[in-house]
Amino acid sequence: MSATNTAPKQEIVKIAAIQMASGPNVAANLSEAKRLIETAVNQGARLVVLPEYFAIMGLNDTDKVAVREQEGSGPIQDFLSSTAKKNKIWIIGGTVPLVSQFPNKVRNSCLVYDDRGKQVARYDKIHLFGLDLGNEHYHEENTIEAGDAVKVVETPFGSVGLSVCYDLRFPELYRAMGKVNIIVVPAAFTDTTGKAHWETLIRARAIENLSYVIAPAQGGYHVSGRETHGNTMIVDPWGVILDRLPRGSGVVIATMNPKYQESLRKSLPALKHRTIKSVG
């Protein structure tokens, strides 16, 4: 686990998720992200979460390796830091391709920046997507080195558990986070698997953990020919979808009410009723 020393505040805040249809040009993607973040800020958002691969979805899986950055430096990280500081908001950069120990791979890293522009947390995607279904073939292990650590960060909005896309299918990851206020799931779900499972899994993670879930997604057709599912959404701890965007670039925004969340946890103390802690 990793955390800052920021104490959570019990106040109602606006939280936002960004949906994009990113392409192979990093600068163009960052320009679009900037526009969407400013839209969210103008609507009062204090926490903004970007989707997986927001900075690049290349023509080939190896394209992200070519633009990988050392932690703490590079145009993608500079953008996240300066944008958070300028707008005085917290930003979670869905994923950023960071250097790994292998020259042909990246760490698919979710980075958290506070309202001063300081990076305060990093989560490296643990579960790597693999699919062979009809004409669709995805093997993330060929270009990504998996992470191995659960990450939770304390923020002014409560504790935030970090996860990425395919992690969503592994509920034990979220149990390992403990009692978190918010779960983030930046994603680039394929349209095929998204139609079948995305909403169900997002709502299940919210209900199981009595947590708000912020799920920013890639949504649309990409230059590579890939189609992503979209349906960026924010879900409350009761599993209610507060806002969603089916397709295309845009902003999903909702109000987070910590007192409402706490009342649900008191009324249905499922997190206290857990009896199976681990197996094996």
Residues labelled as active-site residues: 52, 125, 165
Task: Give me the helix-helix angle, 26-42 and 75-87, nearest 10°.
Answer: 10
Count CB atoms within 10 A of the CB of residue 267: 8
Beta strands at 45-49 and 106-113: parallel, antiparallel or unpaired: unpaired
Backbone angles phi, psi at 101, to 5 degrees: -80, -5
Tokens 């990246």 locate to 106
Radius of gyration of the chain (CA): 17
Residue appearing with tokens 């997604």: 217
Which residue is associated with the tokens 């191995």?
A: 148
Whether 83 and 49 have beta carbons less than 8 Å apart is answered as no
Q: Is 157 exposed, middle or buried (0-12, 13-18, 19+ CB in 10 A)?
A: buried
What does the alpha-carbon distance between residue 69 and residue 50 come to, in Å, rounded to a whole number? 18
Return the amino acid letter for 145: E
Q: How far apart are CA 195 and CA 197, in angstroms?
A: 6
88: nearest Cα among 41, 54, 56: 41
Strands 232-235 and 130-133, by their bridges, are unpaired
Tokens representing 146 are 């998996």
